């Protein structure tokens, strides 16, 4: 049995797929999954607690509680001082969990009804609810979750933090704020997106002796920096034409900065030539901070016969002129990155939606949750309730590659495959970050990286650059999009040339 941290392109399964994996495991003779889960939990708890000896374990009414009870019995046999709060009904426990309870009692263990107010512990193990929870917590369980969080102790959550939706990362009223989560068989999307990014702490995977991808090929994967393998080192006999050309279309009145940020990002991430076309009447003739950018009119931009990728939307505005230019971009066969107002205009126009759906060139959409909701005709709340499903719907409806941005950004392809990005931090909640991402994606496509690979690399790199800046003491408060551009270049070169 392997217990590890998530690694390169680790498989991710929603709760329904985990159930199928459990059934497949049973058919292959793996009838002791609870015993394996309890052992993995006990081993990790003994590592986390360090020199401590006192452990509070909360066991719930289902199989997650059974895992916790197996861990309690083992930890007690290893001479830890274990207190168990049991919140279930002994008469209604599933078969394996009932057996785990009997074994705990037979070993001399006792049960508490609630968390003692005068107790002292070094570690809490949360085994209240796993992936089966599908409704808001009752008042009793809300108080237990809140009590755990008030203790201010290290918390090891089993499978998922109790109260967290294993698929969406949303909270069922409240959820345990774990410092560690030991998830069984494989990763779940809810641990990696939305509130899961806050509540899961350090994630560990116990495969319970199974090989999930061999039993059920995954649709979801977790990104890491080795996605940079899609961009090879440049040949020594190179020239700017080999690095491709990028166009940026945007920059309406008072929004020229958005287009310039996208252009600078494209240049720093390797595009050989970058044209920036702005709609503003008073658009600058050059960028003093980045003289290499070629600022031009929209007409001249479309006259370029070797444009490898066009990013439309950064500061585009929603005027009639913007609509006409976007229509022209959608009618072209040039690879297209769509962001910001380009997405809003498409959401408001059946004609533009039809053009997007029928495009021959590659299309990449980069909406935040509100923009994703507009494109699908649903609310932002509905998007956040199932970010994975939203990304897949967008990709399939518009025949595009998609990233739904946010904590744990979700990338999806029209064939239903999806990816979760673990990089990034709250400092990215600032103006211009989306413009920078658009320029990064466009630069990679211009360098002949396939559209999906370009999207995945750019999304991961974007967040990793922000993380690297925070590690240097730059942010998260006050972190700017301009600062991310320079760090993205540094990391991209490091990954391509040094790894």
Q: Which of 47, 142, 171, 103 is nearest to 84 (CA)?
A: 103
Same domain, 79 and 180: yes
d(CA 185, CA 37): 9
pLDDT of residue 470: 98
Boundary residue ending a domain (192, 219, 246): 219
Task: Return the sign of the alpha-carbon dihedral for residues 191, 130, 206, 188.
Answer: negative
Residues 394 and 429 in one domain: yes
Q: What's the pLDDT score for residue 467?
A: 98
The domain that holds 137 is classified in CATH as: 3.40.50.10260
Residue that is written with structure tokens 């760090």 in the block: 487
**Residue 475 exposed, middle or buried by CB count within 10 Å (0-12, 13-18, 19+):** buried
Q: Is 252 in the same domain as 156?
A: no
Note whether 256 and 111 are same-domain residues. no
In the prediction, which pLDDT does 477 show? 97
pTM: 0.95
Give CA–CA dist 104/336, Å, rounded. Answer: 60
pLDDT given for residue 305 in this prediction: 82
pLDDT over threshold 90, residue 1: no
Claim to verify: residue 205 and residue 234 sit in the same structural domain: no
End-of-domain residue from the set 219, 248, 267: 219
- Per-residue pLDDT tens over the stretch 330-387: 999 999 999 999 999 999 999 999 999 999 999 999 999 999 999 999 999 999 999 9
Residues 172 and 233 in one domain: no
- Give per-residue pLDDT as tens, 232-247: 999 999 999 899 999 9
Q: Which of 173, 193, 219 is the last residue of a domain?
A: 219
State whether residue 198 is helix, strand or coil: helix
List helix spans (H) across 358-418.
369-376, 380-385, 387-397
Number of domains in the chain: 2
Q: What are the C-alpha distances in Å from 380 to residues 349, 375, 398, 437, 440?
A: 19, 11, 19, 21, 26
Which residue(s) pair with 3 in the sheet? 206
Q: Mean pLDDT over residues 327-332, rounded?
A: 97
Among residues 85, 114, 90, the alpha carbon closest in space to that of 101 is found at 90
When pLDDT is cut at 50, 70 and 90, the band that residue 304 belongs to is confident
Q: Can you give the residue range of the structural domain that contains 155?
A: 3-219
Same domain, 104 and 136: yes
Q: Between 481-498 and 451-471, two packed helices, what is the crossing angle to 10 degrees?
A: 110
- Do residue 241 and residue 169 come from a single domain? no
Q: Judge if 215 and 233 occupy the same domain.
A: no
User: Does one domain contain both 231 and 182?
Assistant: no
Query: Which position has the higher pLDDT, 71 or 6?
Result: 71
Tell me, yes or no, whether 25 and 113 share the same domain: yes
């Amino acid at each position: 049995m392997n217990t590890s941290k998530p690694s390169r392109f680790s498989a991710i399964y929603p709760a329904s797929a985990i159930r199928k994996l459990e059934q497949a495991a049973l058919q292959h003779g793996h009838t002791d999954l609870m015993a394996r889960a309890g052992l993995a939990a006990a081993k990790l708890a003994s590592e986390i607690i360090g020199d401590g000896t006192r452990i509070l374990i909360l066991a719930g009414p289902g199989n997650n509680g059974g895992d916790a009870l197996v861990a309690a019995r083992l930890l007690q046999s290893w001479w830890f001082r274990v207190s168990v709060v049991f919140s279930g009904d002994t008469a209604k426990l599933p078969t394996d969990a009932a057996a785990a309870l009997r074994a705990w009692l037979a070993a001399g263990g006792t049960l508490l009804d609630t968390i003692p107010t005068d107790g002292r512990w070094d570690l809490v193990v949360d085994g209240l609810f796993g992936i089966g929870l599908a409704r808001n917590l009752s008042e009793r369980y809300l108080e237990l979750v809140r009590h755990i969080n008030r203790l201010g102790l290290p918390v090891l959550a089993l499978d998922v933090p109790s109260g967290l939706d294993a698929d969406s990362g949303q909270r069922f009223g409240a959820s345990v704020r774990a410092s560690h989560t030991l998830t069984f068989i494989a990763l779940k999307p809810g641990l990696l997106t939305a509130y899961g990014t806050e509540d899961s702490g350090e994630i560990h995977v116990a495969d319970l002796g199974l090989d999930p991808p061999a039993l059920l090929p995954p649709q979801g994967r977790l990104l890491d920096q080795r996605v940079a393998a899609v961009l090879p080192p440049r040949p020594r006999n190179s020239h700017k034409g080999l690095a491709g050309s990028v166009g940026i279309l945007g920059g309406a009145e008072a929004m020229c900065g958005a287009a310039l940020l996208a252009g600078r990002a494209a240049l720093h991430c390797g595009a050989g030539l970058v044209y920036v076309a702005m709609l503003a009447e008073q658009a600058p003739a050059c960028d003093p901070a980045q003289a290499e950018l070629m600022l031009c009119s929209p007409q001249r931009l479309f006259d370029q016969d070797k444009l490898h990728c066009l990013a439309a939307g950064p500061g585009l505005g929603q005027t009639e002129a913007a609509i006409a230019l976007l229509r022209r971009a959608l009618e072209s066969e040039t690879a297209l990155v769509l962001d910001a107002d380009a997405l809003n205009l498409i959401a408001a126009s059946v004609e533009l939606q039809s053009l997007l759906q029928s495009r021959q060139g590659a299309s990449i959409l980069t909406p935040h949750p509100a923009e994703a909701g507009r494109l699908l005709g649903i609310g932002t709340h509905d998007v956040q309730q199932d970010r994975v499903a939203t990304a897949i719907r967008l990709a399939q409806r518009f025949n595009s590659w998609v990233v739904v941005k946010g904590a744990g950004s979700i990338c999806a392809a029209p064939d239903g495959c999806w990816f979760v990005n673990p990089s990034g931090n709250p400092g990215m909640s600032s103006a211009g970050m989306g413009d920078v991402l658009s320029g990064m994606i466009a630069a990679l496509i211009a360098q002949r990286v396939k559209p999906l690979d370009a999207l995945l690399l750019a999304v991961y790199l974007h967040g990793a650059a922000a993380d690297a800046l925070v590690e240097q003491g730059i942010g998260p408060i006050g972190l700017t999009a301009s600062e991310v551009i320079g760090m993205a270049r540094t990391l991209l070169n490091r990954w391509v040339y040094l790894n």
